[in-house]
Amino acid sequence: MTIRIDRVVTRGGDGGQTSLGDGTRTLKSSVRVEAYGTVDEANATVGVLRCLVQDVAVGNMLLRIQNGLFDIGGDLCIPGAAGERFRLDDTLLHALDADTARLSGLQRPLDSFVLPGGTPAAAQAHVVRTVVRRAERRVVALAAQEDVNPEVLRTLNRLSDYMFVLSRHLNDDGGQDLLWTRPTKPA
């Protein structure tokens, strides 16, 4: 497929509306636009994480995730039958499950909750995790009103789980995790 973008500035959104992938005009505040906009935001946070990661294999997986998030955005921005050929399949979901299992097998068992932090890359993985969770909530809200490809929800759910496991991997497989401790009461 050849993509050609002739104009970035169209002025079509100056009044608060945008075009969906099928040409329908809708408010930029619509549940659908909010859903795919938050997926786009998640993609941007993955891009920041990629800048912080030195491991080539992790970087390649993150690039695959970015492409998958772009596909999710495309799936969400073309409602109904017009978007059938753009529907997300379970390929990314299976890759996430496999890498989550692989990384989990390297990690120390958890005996406390993990606080976001540690290395800069691990902290960014936690940012990604929370933005992906928000995107998932936005897609759930959309699915309450309109049909949504179930692979989108499953993939977003697994992606946030993956980011938690990846954050631990980026913290020396849990060795540099910041663990939650219950505050002690003064005596």
Q: Is the pLDDT score of 92 beyond 70?
A: yes
What does the mean pLDDT of the chain come to? 90
Q: Please give the average per-residue pLDDT across 53-63, as a whole number.
A: 97
Residue-wise pLDDT for 28-46, tens only, equals: 779 999 999 999 999 999 9
Q: Is the pLDDT score of 4 beyond 90?
A: no
Residue 108's pLDDT is what? 86
Q: How far apart are alpha carbons 20 and 17 in whole angstroms? A: 10
pTM of the model: 0.89
Residue 44's pLDDT is what? 98
Pick the CATH number of 26-105+113-177 from 3.90.190.10, 1.20.1200.10, 3.40.228.10, 3.90.1150.10: 1.20.1200.10
- Contact call for residues 139 and 76 (beta carbons, < 8 A): yes
What percent of the chain is modeled with pLDDT above 90? 68
Residue-wise pLDDT for 146-162, tens only, equals: 999 999 999 999 999 99
Residue 82's pLDDT is what? 64
Q: Please give the average per-residue pLDDT across 79-99, as a whole number.
A: 86
Residue-wise pLDDT for 166-182, tens only, equals: 999 999 989 888 889 88
